[in-house]
Chain A
Amino acid sequence: MTSPHRRAPLADAAGLTPLLAPDRSNSSVLRVALVYLVVGLGSFLLMGLLGLLMRLDQGGILVIAPVWFYRVMTLHGAGMVASILLAVTGGLAAAVSATTRLSARVLWIALVIYFIGTSFVILATLVGGFGGGWTVLYPLPTHGLVWTLDAALAMYAGYLFIALGLLLYCVHMLHALARAHGGFVRLFALRFLFSLGRDTRDPLPRPPELIAGVISIDGIAAATAGMLYLVPIFLHAAGVMSVDALYAKNTVLLFGHTMANLSIYVGAGLVYAALPAFTGRPWRTTWAVVCAWDLIIILMLTNYSHHLYADFAQPVGLQLLAEIASYAVALPSFIVTIIGALTLIYRSGIRWTAAPMLLALGIWGWVFGGLGAVLDATIPVNQVLHNTMWVPAHFHTYYLLGAVAFAWGYLFYMVHELSDRRAARASSIAVWLYGIGGAGFILMFFVAGANSVPRRYAVHLTQWQMYARVAVPFVVVLAFGLAWLSWDLARRFLSAWRGTEGPALQS
């Protein structure tokens, strides 16, 4: 066991900002952050089991009724997006809390609102029988034929609360960061950016702070898009107005796609926060970092419409813009974040424990998923891949081997820092199992997509079943790896929780 007063070894050794502020004023924020991470990753594991059930069904191994398959599919999708976003946003709150005064109370309230939302989603799917898909694409939710309007409204209410929880988190984060840095110009280092790095009068934000600011703006935009989608649909349900199908598609995708994208970008923020502690090299706020992340504010909101290439009613100009934006958003992420992370690792003398291994795995998965996404974002290619298994292939790669790996890595880092107890050496094997199981699992999605297997089918033709059958053993390996990592975290968690003890932050 360790003393809660022990200094954070990794960050201190590297001369970096410690996780726990010297005056321990962020201890209560670290606690709520741990709750976000544990609840988020715990829910991710449960949702993963639902995913396994779906692959067993598609492989013809454990057949379930289609009506249940689609309910499970809906819960799995909504639950995964909500869980992963919860986990990474908790990590990001921890990462900025040592230098930015966040309110633990506001974070708890956001979590409660989020819980109310997820409770509605669980009720809608498991009790109400809602199976309209996590994308809740209008007008299917109100026209499902086998579930009631009440179930659809419960689902929408769930999304409303989840959007409100995200909105509260982002508004609070943005306000706290702007206050800490003396305004948005300084938070986003705009003078430094537009002077091409020559104007260094303003103190620059640390990368996690800059990233937290960026994702907060996009989170507010996503939540606003959610309102623009949900409010007309509630009015439609009340018989007040009708909703245009193309408008609904644009707003729901701006909402949902940005929510999903936020997870990976917040996850990347966790890499900026944790990787330096393992490599012993600081991740400085260079002009390239500022430029890339300030650009992300706009680019993340423009590429959603590559999901509308098959909607020929969408103006062609917007379709071409979506293709350009999809390529453009990949460049700053790869050139700055990925190359920056690899430079940090190269000849750093890093000691490969579970946490940096998970972060490195996430870097690999993010890029591999990105390659699949960029290919699919090319309009003529999309014609033969849209809504095939290629789509879940790329976003499962982003998520499972990207954002989720970052979240696990960051939680390992937090537990190490706060408990000063290292991960068991054998946990490195668990990360290998995670990587191998995950890679085999997502590769079978890609293979199925390349063979034109449709996504979201409860019943697969015999010739399609082998892709799911091959994937299942990989899922088992993946699950074993994740269970092993969970056990390692569990045995050190109480020690880490005690490591946060200190005077509570005045909120």
Chain B
Amino acid sequence: MQNPHVIFGVLIAMGAVWTLGWAIIMARSGRSIPVEQLERSENRIRVGLLGGLAAIAIVVFVLSLPRLPFAGSRRAELGPPQVTITATAVQWGWIISRDRLTAGIPIEFDVTSRDVNHDFAIYDPDGRLLTQVQAMPGYINRLVYRFSAPGTYTVRCLEYCGVGHHMMTARLTVARQE
């Protein structure tokens, strides 16, 4: 559910079904028939779609609940954090209290900002976005995360924060658990 390539695949699959349905209607737009003949089937389709789509939405919503990224949910999923690290954003860099971390243990990042809104986003060594939280002035947002593998991870700012936004990166070195 949190693999962007899988999400893209879901989009393409749903988009293909929609495009096929749309194309069929467009292709069958000729040979006029009275609209009254369609009204009963239109209503049946509407009711069916409403029921079907609402059911899908409810299922997806319920499935999303145990996977919420907020601190309480992550603590419940991963256990209490064993390390707490502060990450403070300033235009245009990160002040991180510790950048050598250990894989396999829950870590809490207390994220804030000294100036404007930023976003503390962790990318894996292959360049894939893993998790993120906003860094806001006046607030401490707590991000709980467990690195599954050792490596060099990159922190990027994902909230536009001015002309140095694209340069605002930091490194986290994650070592194997002893």
What residues make up the interface of A, taking CB atoms closer than 8 Å to B?
66-67, 70, 131-133, 135, 137, 139-140, 143-146, 244-246, 249, 280-281, 288, 309-313, 316, 319, 323-324, 327-328, 330-331, 334-336, 339-340, 342-350, 352, 360, 363-364, 367-368, 371-372, 375, 378-381, 383-388, 390, 446-447, 449-452, 454-459, 463
Beta-carbon nearest neighbor of B118 in chain A: A140
Least Cβ–Cβ distance between B178 and chain A, in angstroms: 29
Give the 6 A-B residue pairs with the shortest CB-CB distance, closest first: A349-B32, A450-B8, A452-B129, A380-B67, A387-B158, A457-B166
A42 CA to B128 CA, complexed, in Å: 39
Beyond contacts A131-B163, A347-B32: 18 other A-B pairs, Cβ-Cβ < 8 A, are A131-B162, A133-B160, A137-B160, A140-B160, A143-B115, A246-B138, A327-B57, A331-B53, A331-B57, A334-B49, A334-B53, A339-B45, A342-B22, A384-B4, A390-B4, A449-B4, A452-B123, A458-B166
Assess whether A347 is in contact with B33, with CB atoms less than 8 Å apart.
Answer: yes
Number of interface residues of B (CB under 8 A): 75
In the complex, are the beta carbons of B137 and A139 less than 8 A apart? Answer: yes
Chain A residues near B164 (CB-CB < 8 A): 66
Return chain B residues, CB-CB under 8 Å to A383: 2, 69, 131-132
> Whose C-beta in chain A lies nearest to the C-beta of B19?
A364
State whether B133 touches A312 (Cβ < 8 A): yes
**Within 8 Å of chain A (Cβ to Cβ): is B78?**
no
Most A CB contacts (10 A, CB to CB) among B19, B32, B133, B159 go to B159
Considering only residues 3-23 of chain B, those with a C-beta below 8 Å from chain A are 3-5, 7-8, 10-11, 14-15, 18-19, 22
CA A163 to CA B123, docked complex, whole Å = 38
A309 → chain B closest CB, angstroms: 8
Residues A312 and B127 in contact, CB atoms below 8 Å apart: no
Minimum CB–CB distance from A327 to chain B (whole Å) comes to: 4
Q: How far is the CA of A454 from the CA of B154 in the complex (A)?
A: 13
Q: Are B91 and A145 in contact (CB under 8 A)?
A: yes
Interface segment out of the listed B81-89, B93-101, B139-147: B139-147
Q: With both chains docked as a complex, state the minimum distance between the C-beta of A373 and any C-beta of chain B, in angstroms.
A: 10
Residues A346 and B38 in contact, CB atoms below 8 Å apart: yes
* Contact A347 to B29, CB < 8 A, known contacts A131-B163, A140-B161: yes
B61, A324: Cβ atoms under 8 Å?
Answer: yes
A139-B139 contact in complex given A324-B61, A339-B49, C-beta closer than 8 Å = no
B165–A345 touching, CB < 8 Å: no
Distance A349 CA – B32 CA, assembled complex (angstroms): 4
Residue B60 at the chain A interface, CB threshold 8 Å: yes
CB contacts (< 8 Å) of B115 on chain A: these are: 139, 143
Kindly report which residue of chain A lies nearest to residue B18, judged by CB atoms.
A367
In the docked arrangement, what's the CA distance between A339 and B41, Å?
Answer: 11
- Between A and B, 18 residue pairs with Cβ closer than 8 Å are A66-B166, A133-B160, A140-B162, A145-B91, A309-B69, A310-B134, A312-B69, A313-B134, A324-B61, A327-B61, A339-B45, A347-B29, A350-B29, A384-B131, A385-B129, A454-B166, A459-B166, A459-B167
Which of B61, B67, B142 is A312 in contact with, Cβ under 8 Å?
B142
Instruction: Give Cα A344–Cα B38 distance, bound, in whole angstroms.
Output: 9
Q: Are A348 and B22 closer than 8 Å at their CB atoms?
A: no
CB distance from A400 to the nearest CB of B (A): 16
Q: Given A143-B116, A334-B49, do A384 and B26 touch, yes or no (CB 8 Å)? A: no
Closest to B132 in A: A310
Within 8 A of A (CB), among B28-52: 28-33, 35, 38-39, 42, 45-46, 49-50
Task: Indicate if the CB atoms of B29 and A371 lie closer than 8 Å.
Answer: no
Q: Does B149 contact A (CB under 8 A)?
A: no
| Given A363-B22, A385-B7, A311-B141 contact (CB < 8 Å) | yes
Q: Are B117 and A312 in contact (CB under 8 A)?
A: no
Which chain A residue has the least Cβ–Cβ distance from B47?
Answer: A335
B64–A452 touching, CB < 8 Å = no
Q: Quick one: given A312-B141, A383-B69, are A454 and B26 in contact (CB under 8 Å)?
A: no
Given A133-B160, A316-B68, are A347 and B28 neighbors across the interface (CB < 8 Å)? yes
* B33 proximity list for chain A (CB < 8 A): 347
A379 to B66, CA, bound (A): 11
Contact of B141 among A66, A131, A313, A350 (CB under 8 A): A313
Chain A residue at smallest Cβ distance from B143: A312
- With both beta carbons as reference points, the residue of chain B lying nearest to A460 in the complex is identified as B166
Interface status of B72 (Cβ within 8 A of chain A):
yes
Considering the complex, give the chain B residue whose CB is closest to the CB of A326: B57
Kindly list chain B residues whose C-beta atoms are within 8 Å of the C-beta of A335. Answer: 46, 49-50, 53
Q: Cβ of B136 < 8 Å from any Cβ of A? A: yes
Q: Which of A244, A360, A452 interacts with B138 by CB under 8 Å? A: A244
